[in-house]
Structure formats: C-alpha cells, structure tokens
Structure 1
C-alpha cells in the first residue's frame, strides 16, 4: 500500500490539425516582418523618452514645482499666517465685544427679569382664568353632547327605515341575479377568447419555427460554426504569432542597438580616446614642462619683484612724508620725564619699629 499519492501525469497536448500547421509558419513570418519595424521604433521611442525624462522633464518638473511653491504656496502661507489669522482674531474679539457682551447683558438684565414677571403673570393670572374657562367649556360640551346623541339616534332610525332597508331589498332581488348572469356571460366569452388565442398562437409558433428557427439552426450548424472555428484558429495563431514576433523583434532590436553602440564606439569614441591618450596627453605634458611651468616661475619671480618694489616705494613715500612734516612743523616735542614724587614710604635703611615713627609728619 502506497502512502504517497503518485504524481499527476502532465496534461497531454491536443493534437493539432494540418490547417494549424499549414498556416502557422507563414503567419509568423508575415507578422515578424510587420512587427519588427514597429518594435524598433518603439524601442527607440522608449530610449528617447527615458533620456528626455531624465534630462529635461524631471528637472523641468522640479523647477516648475519650486516655482509653483514660490508663487502660490509660500504667499498663501504668508497670507494665512500674517493676514488671515490676525484678522480672524481681531474679528473674533470685535464680535465678542459687539455681540456676545451685549447679548449677555441683555439676557441678564432684560430677559431674565421679563421672564420672571411673565412666569408670575402666568401663575397668578392666566392659570385661574384658564381653569375657569375650562370648567365653563366642559359644561357647554356636556349639554351639546346630550343634544347630539338625541339627534344622532333620530337620524339613524330614519336612515335605517328610509334608505338601508329598501336598498337591501333591491340588492337581494334585483342586482344580485343580474350580476350573476353578467358574470356567467363574461366567463364564457373569456373561455372562447382564450381558446381562440391558443389556436392562433399554436399556428404562429409552428409557422415561425418552420420559417425562421429551422433555417437559422441549419445556418448556425453548417455555416457559422465552421467559419467561427476557422476564425478562432486563425485568431489564436495570429495572437501567438504576434507575441512570438514581438519577442523576436525585441531581441533583434537589442542586437541592432548593441551593434550601433559598438559601431559608434569604434567610429567616434575609440579614435577620440586614442587621440587623447597618444597625442594630446604627451603634447600637454611637453607644453606643461616646457612652457607653463617656466612661465609660472617667471610670473612668480616678477610678482615677487613687483611686491618688493611696491614695498620700497611705500617706505620711500612714508619717509618723504616724515621729512616734509619735519621741515614744515619742526621736530616733534619729546615727552617730559615725570618728576620724582617724594615717596612717603621709608627707604630700605629706615624701617618701622614699634618705638619710632618713620613717616614724614610724625618723624621725631
């Protein structure tokens, strides 16, 4: 006894007819010839679109986004922050001062006393008056009710014996027999019309079936169904051919693109690289070593000499200004030495002791 189920057998493909095999290869060749230019154009458009999106549209979109923020968002934020919000606060304060405070004052000092007064009037005046009016209306209603009951009884007796009893006799002995006869006639006429309609419908059914249904069924079975099967086979093969041709065209387009890229590299890039590496780089090194570096050293020495000359000229000009000032205004005055101030502190030889004073005022 096996514990595991045996693996399911792979589905067996249905055998294909000779018609499918006959039309498959020509259809695929024709479709490949038609699809290949479309696929190459599509790949070129995709590459161009990616380059355009990366190089133009994305920076343009970012610039437009920043411009939109600068022109719309930031002004609106500033307007909201510095105009609408302060204006709203000012309007709120103004509404509070002009509406809320007067309304509170009116409610507190006008409506509340008026309500208290009206409540007193309702409790002390209107309620007794209303109770008295209610008692009076209740008595009047009782009198009118008694009168109405008597009148209703009399009118009901008159209607019973003058209208209801004669109407019942007329219904029982006249209208009911006539209605039964009319109903029997209508039922018989309805049965006759039903039989007539059933016969006409049966005739029309068989006529339509013979004239329409059977030819349509034959047309469907012997013409439309085979044509539909043929068209389904053709459509399936065309769809498969389109998918296969699209994939093959993609590979061909990729190979062509790589070939063009390689050709462009060997025609333009490699010669430019060879010229740069073989010609321009040595020439540049020679020019750098033979021309640029000596020129730079000469320029540095010239600059150093010019700076020294400028420094000497500045020193000469400064000395000339000093000489002119001395000739015009004379020698500048020398600062006088400060006179020695008599110090009140004793010298090193005369030191203070407990028994003598060494200050100038108390010296013995």
Structure 2
C-alpha cells in the first residue's frame, strides 16, 4: 500500500507545498474513509441478499397475485362479456338501424332525389332561356347607353381637370417654390451651422468629463482591484487549488484502499461464519440427518406408499365392480319394462362372408355366384 503513488494525470515537477500537504491529508482521509467504505460494502451485501431472498420472490408473488386479482378478471370480463355484448349490440343495431336506413335511402330518398334533379334541370333550362333571350339583349343596350354617357362625362372631366391644374400651379406651387428657395433655405443653413457649433462644444465638454471620470475610476478602483487580484487572490487560489486537488486524489486513493480493507474484512468474516455455522450445519446434515432420512424413507415411507398403492388398486377394482353391477341392474330393469331390444336383421351381401383367395377357375365371384 503506497501512499505516495503518483497520479497518472500529474505532469511536471511538484512543489514543496504539494509534498507537504499530500501525506497528512491522505492519512486523515484514509482514517475517515475506511469506516464509511466498510459500512457501504456491508450495506451493499445486505441489500443484494435482501433483494435475492426477499424482494425478488415477494415481487414475483405480488405479480402473480396482481395478475390473478386484477388482470385475469378484466380479461375474462372483456373476452366473455364485453365482446359478446358488443357483438350482440352490433347485430341488433344492424338489424334495427342500418337495414331500415338502407331501405329508406334506396326506395325513398333516391326516388325523391331523382324527382328533384329532374325539376332542377327544368328550372335551369328555363333560366338559361330567359338569360339568353331577355337579359342578354337588355344588358347590351344598357352597356351601349352607359358607354355614350361615359364618353361625354370624360370630355367634361378633362376640361375641368385642366382648369383646376392651371389654377393650382399658379396659385400654390409657384409661390411655394419661391418661398422655399429664398426664405426657408437660408434660414435652414443658418440653423444647421449653429447646431454644428453646439454639437462641437458639447462633444468637447463630454470628452473632458469622460477623461476625468476614466482616470478617477482607474486610479481609485481598477489599479487597487488589479493589485488585489495579482498579489492576493491568485496566490490564495493556487494554494486552494493544490489543496483541493490533493484532497480529491486522497479521497480516491483512500476509497480504493478502503475497498481492499473492506474486502479483506468481508472475506475474514465470511470464513469465520463458514467455520462457526456452515460447516457444523453441513456436517450435521451429512452425518445425522441424511442417514436418518434414508432410514425413514426405507422403513416408513416406502412401505406406506406400497400400502397406499395396494389400497388404491383395491378401491379402483371395487368401484369397477360396483359400476358393472349398476350397469347390469339398469339393463335388467330396461328389459323388464320395455322388453328385449330389437335385433338388427341380416342383410344379404353380394360378397361372400368369408374372404377367400380367388382364382381364374373359381365360380365364387360377384358375377357368377348362385
């Protein structure tokens, strides 16, 4: 058991802090982890034994009971009640609903539909004749009249539009262009120049204030925080990293060592249990119970089984004799009440009753016998 076994993930030279921290940490962690690992292995073994000896048989029994109590009754109910009732209801519905509906559709609705279709075709033909002979000429005349009225209205509208456009041009557009070119443009340029000046002054003021705030924050906050990070937090973090890594590796190493210790303790306890309990019980079973069982089997069980078989044969023979007696008594009563049964009459057959070998000169054939 090497507590200084190097980790395969560690590369490069190790510092004195790592070497100084490793051995005490591993000793302390080993002392703390070994009882936990032993208890854990004991719980695992107990759980496996409980699962194999109690939980699994209990689960099988519960599964069988659940199937017998819940699944099979519902399956039988579905198979022998629901399915049968459903088939009966389906046949009843087919006889009471489907067949009458099919008859009504075939002999009533179909005829009514043919009649309505014939009436609709007649009405459609009448409407088509009215459209072609009446509405089409009236529509063409109205379209010609509206076309003439539209031409007149278009000519009047063009004249009115030309006059209104000339008035708008000289009363609105031309004065507006003059006002934009000689009044609004100079005023807008003056306002833009003033706005540029104000923006330049504002940007200069903002740059100065920003530079002052930047250097103030840098001197008061950034440089002290950077010094704290470089001079304090980074070394402390490195120390904590080394300690955490060593603690983690010590935990893994201690867990593996505790596993070997727990395995050795378990084997010792198993061997002790076998010597104290299992071997004596096995010796008693082989030396005492097995000969006693053989004696009981040869002296008691086999003669008892032979006697039971003899009694069973005698009981079966007695039952067979009783059945034969009852059968004969029934036959005697039937002959007393109804007489002898009618015997079948023999029927003459064309074939001889006894099969004999036929030859070419034999007269006992189906065609030449007397």
Identify the TM-score tier after normalising by the shorter chain: 0.5 to 0.7
- Greater relative CO (CA pairs within 8 A, separation 6+): 2
Alignment of 1:1-364 (within 5 A): 13-47=11-45, 48=47, 50-51=51-52, 54-57=56-59, 60=62, 70=72, 83=86, 86=90, 102=109, 105=113, 108-109=117-118, 114-115=123-124, 117-293=126-302, 299=307, 303=311
Distance 1:242 1:292, change over 3 A: same
Note the residue ranges of structure 2 that are not aligned, 5 or more in a row: 1-7, 330-370
Distance 1:159 1:76, change over 3 A: farther
Alpha-carbon offset, residue 43 of structure 1: 3.5
Aligned positions, number: 306
Distance 1:237 1:124, change over 3 A: farther
Alpha-carbon offset, residue 223 of structure 1: 0.7
TM-align CA RMSD:
4.5
What is the SS of the residue equivalent to 1:200? helix
Question: 1: CA distance between counterparts of 2:222 and 2:216?
Answer: 10
Alpha-carbon offset, residue 95 of structure 1: 8.2
Deviations 1:220-275 (A, max 9, x none): 10011111111111121122122222222333333333333333322322221111
Match of 2:350 in 1: none
Bigger Cα displacement from structure 2, 277-286 vs 301-310: 301-310
Distance 1:169 1:231, change over 3 A: same
Question: 2: CA distance between counterparts of 1:302 and 1:165?
Answer: 142
Question: 1: CA distance between counterparts of 2:281 and 2:169?
Answer: 127
Distance 1:228 1:136, change over 3 A: farther
Deviations 1:266-322 (A, max 9, x none): 23222211111111122233344445556666x4698499879979x98xx99xx9x
Alpha-carbon offset, residue 178 of structure 1: 0.9
Distance 1:271 1:192, change over 3 A: same
Alpha-carbon offset, residue 75 of structure 1: 6.8
Distance 1:57 1:189, change over 3 A: farther
Question: 2: CA distance between counterparts of 1:286 and 1:137?
Answer: 132
Bigger Cα displacement from structure 2, 165-174 vs 256-265: 256-265
Alpha-carbon offset, residue 163 of structure 1: 1.1
Note the residue ranges of structure 1 that are not aligned, 5 or more in a row: 1-9, 322-364
Q: Which protein shows a greater Rg?
A: 1
Distance 1:230 1:149, change over 3 A: same
